[in-house]
Amino acid sequence: MPAVSIDTFFACSLMVMLVLSAMAVTTTFLRPHMNTTDGDSSQRLYRELSKYLLLSEGMPSNWGQNGQTIPETFGLARSNAECPYELDGDKVSRLNDENFYAISYAEAFTSLEAPDTFFKIEIKPLFDVKIRLDTTFDSNNDTIYQFEISTERNGVPISTQMRIFTIAEAYLKATSASATNGETMQNVTIPDTVDGPALLAVIARSAYNDRIMSFNACAFAHSSAEPNLKGTFLKLSPLNHSLTASFSTSGIDLTNAYALTLNHEFQLEQMSNTSESTTYEIPKILDSGPTILVLTGTNSTRSFIEWTAYPQIPVEMGADFVDSHALSDVFSFTYLITIDSIIYDCTVWLGGPA
């Protein structure tokens, strides 16, 4: 075969490959930017799917209450909800990876039964409570801690009424305060005879709407070393009005357990105790709102204080869309949802492969 024929053959093949590849690459790059009915329909599809997540109960409908149950179909709505977007506190708690009985994203993805659809759910209070330890004073037999507590939404101060709890071992003191301009300074006095560490817990309610609430807590050293990070000693899992405290290290001895709400504070009653965990009963109260659960104890070397909220909010669960390069379109949908009559902010992100 003459060299010219081989030359021509190669040149033609090259041109054909070049044209086909150029078409393929152009289509791949332009597709996400094309404003076609495809994009509109996928947005509509994802919107309906986000509503389905929040309006359906899932199967079984009480999958949130039993920590061993993996839902066959995914849905967060409360059974027999009185109004739309009313979620089940236990189902939401099981999305939180701090909970021992949390379902994994893989399990949620499978039970959603929507292949090629990745999702993320975030549920948080409508405003933030920020606590900052300002200064510490020594008194005769006490130590006074001055805290700056602020309530804000996206940097805008929120006027609130709040209940402030100081807890250290068997010491529990509750006071009321208001932050009319979204900020208050609070002095907390703890006797030196009380062993630490201590915790300052705040439950705040909007001055304008009883159903908009938020909370936070801050552990601090009092006659003790600096407190460890949350979850170092215990994994707290509140579900179905019982709190399971799973021991993260050996030699744990729990001393006190409290439930704190806006209007009440209780000492929790122990239901069962094993070498790996202890279970407490969370009292059912008529007042709606989040409950802060606090446990104090010691391990072989030091004292500790751990806390969580019931329902276990804020929670963020699902796919990491920020680092995902394989997705072309991600849609976010914001909803106001209620859990136990309290209004929270819920954002659902949904996306699919390019």
Partner 1 sequence: MRNENAGQIRIIEAVFAVFVIFSAFAVTANLPAAQNTSRSDNLSSVGLQVLMKLDSDGSLGRNLDQGHWTVLRECLTLAIPAGISFNMTVYDEQMHEVNTAVISNGGFGSQEVSFTEYVCASRDLTLNCYAIHLYLAVTQ
Shorter beta-carbon distance to partner 1: residue 17 or 271? 17
- Residue 117 within binding range of partner 1, rule CB under 8 A: no
Out of 3, 106, 229, 286, the residue judged to bind partner 1 by CB under 8 A: 3
Q: State the CB neighbour count (10 A cutoff) for residue 186.
A: 19
- Cβ burial of 102 (10 Å; 0-12, 13-18, 19+) is buried
Sequence-separated (6 or more) residues with CB below 8 Å from residue 212: 125, 126, 127, 205, 206, 342, 343
How many of the chain's residues bind partner 1 (CB under 8 A)?
55
How distant, in Å, are the alpha carbons of 121, 126, 156, 238 from that of 211? Answer: 22, 10, 19, 22
| Residue 240 makes contact with partner 1 by CB under 8 A | no
Q: How far is the CB of 261 from partner 1 (least distance, A)?
A: 19
Q: In this chain, which of 96, 310, 338, 352 binds partner 1, going by CB under 8 A?
A: 338
Query: What's the rounded Cα separation, in Å, for the pair 185 and 130?
Result: 12
Give 160's contacts (C-beta < 8 A, 6+ positions apart): 127, 151, 178, 179, 182, 204, 205, 206, 207, 214
> Taking contact as CB under 8 A, which single stretch among the options 80-88, 191-199, 218-226, 233-241 is the one that binds partner 1?
80-88
Check residue 142 and report its DSSP letter.
E
Judged by CB under 8 A, the residue of 154, 250, 275, 300 near partner 1 is: 154
Q: Which helix (H) or strand (E) holds 319?
A: none
- Dihedral of CA atoms 53, 54, 59, 61 in degrees, nearest 10, equals 170
Query: Which of 37, 68, 116, 156 is close enough to bind partner 1 by CB under 8 A?
Result: 156
Task: Give yes or no for a contact between 337 and 344, defined as CB atoms under 8 angstroms apart.
Answer: yes
Binding segment toward partner 1, per CB under 8 A, in 9-17, 88-96, 141-149, 224-232:
9-17
Nearer to partner 1, 231 or 353 (CB): 353
For residue 180, state whether it binds partner 1 (rule: CB under 8 A): no
State the binding string over 18-37 for partner 1 (x if CB under 8 A, else -): x--x---x--xx--xx----
- Give the nearest distance from C-beta 313 to partner 1 in angstroms: 16
Strand partners, 61: none
CA–CA separation, 346 and 85 (whole Å): 10
Distances (CA, A) of 27 to 13, 21, 23, 33, 35: 21, 10, 6, 10, 13
Binding window for partner 1 (CB under 8 A); candidates: 83-91, 92-100, 134-142, 164-172: 83-91
Helix, strand or coil for residue 259?
Answer: strand
Give yes or no for residue 158 binding partner 1 (CB under 8 A): yes
- The DSSP letter of residue 33 is G
**Does position 287 bind partner 1 by CB under 8 A?**
no
C-beta closer to partner 1: residue 26 or 273: 26
The closest of 276, 48, 258 to 166, measured between CA atoms, is 258
Stretch that binds partner 1, among 42-50, 139-147, 170-178, 258-266 (CB under 8 A): 42-50
Interacting residue with partner 1 among 41, 135, 136, 209 (CB under 8 A): 209
Q: Which is nearer to partner 1, 185 or 354 (CB)?
A: 354
Q: Which residues bind partner 1 (CB under 8 A)?
A: 2-4, 6-7, 10-11, 14, 17-18, 21, 25, 28-29, 32-33, 43, 46-47, 83-85, 126-127, 153-154, 156, 158-159, 206-212, 321, 324-336, 338, 341, 343, 345, 354
